[in-house]
Homo-oligomer: A and B are copies of this chain.
Amino acid sequence: MSPATRCKAETLLTEAALRRTPPRIAVLQVLLNAREPLNQDQITARLDRDAPNKVTVYRTLQALCAAGIVHRAFVQKRTWYFESAERCTEHQCHPHFTCTGCGRTSCLAEMRLPAVARSYKGYTIQRQRVQLEGLCPKCRECK
B-side contacts of A140, CB under 8 Å:
122-124
CB distance from A86 to the nearest CB of B (A): 19
Residues of B within 8 A of A123 (CB): 97, 108, 132, 134-137, 140
Residues of chain A touching chain B, judged by Cβ–Cβ distance below 8 Å, are 75, 78, 95, 97, 100, 108, 111, 113-117, 120-137, 140
- Identical copies of this chain, number: 2
A124 contacts B134, C-beta separation under 8 Å: yes
CA distance A136 to B100 in the complex (A): 33
CB atoms of A134 and B129 under 8 A apart: no
Report which of B113, B116, B131, B135 forms a contact with A132, defined as CB distance below 8 A: B116
Task: For A124, list chain B residues within 8 Å (CB).
Answer: 134-135, 140
Residue picked from A78, A113, A115, A133, most chain B C-beta under 10 Å: A133
